[in-house]
Amino acid sequence: MAVKYVESGAQAVPILYDWSDQELTQAFHSVNGVLLTGGDLDIADASPEAAQYMHAASLLLQLTVNSSQAGDLVPLWGTCLGLQTLAVAQAGNSSVLETFKFDTKDYSLPVEPAAAAWTSRLLRQLPADLRRALIQENITYNYHHDGVSPEAFQKNQRLAEMFSVLATNKDRHGSRFVSAIEGRHHPIYAVQFHPERSLYYWDADEQGINHSQHAVEVMRYFADFFISEARKNSHRFTSKAAERKALIYNYAPLGRSSYQSYVFPAASEMDWRTSWPRDASETMLV
**Active site residues per annotation:** 80, 194
CA–CA separation, 26 and 39 (whole Å): 24
CA–CA separation, 265 and 270 (whole Å): 7
Distance (Å) of CA 104 to CA 157, 192, 270? 28, 11, 38
Closest CA to 79 of 170, 158, 140: 140
> Which residues, 6 or more positions from 44, have their beta carbon under 8 angstroms from its beta carbon?
50, 88, 94, 97, 99, 146
Using DSSP's 3-state secondary structure scheme, residue 237 falls into coil
| Residue 70 backbone zone (phi > 0: left; psi -120 to 50: alpha; other: beta) | alpha
CA–CA separation, 250 and 255 (whole Å): 16
> Which residues, 6 or more positions from 231, have their beta carbon under 8 angstroms from its beta carbon?
32, 282
Contact by Cβ (8 Å): 86, 190: yes
Using DSSP's 3-state secondary structure scheme, residue 163 falls into strand
Contact by Cβ (8 Å): 46, 54: no
CA–CA separation, 117 and 138 (whole Å): 18
> Which is it for the CA torsion 141, 198, 255, 47, positive or negative?
negative
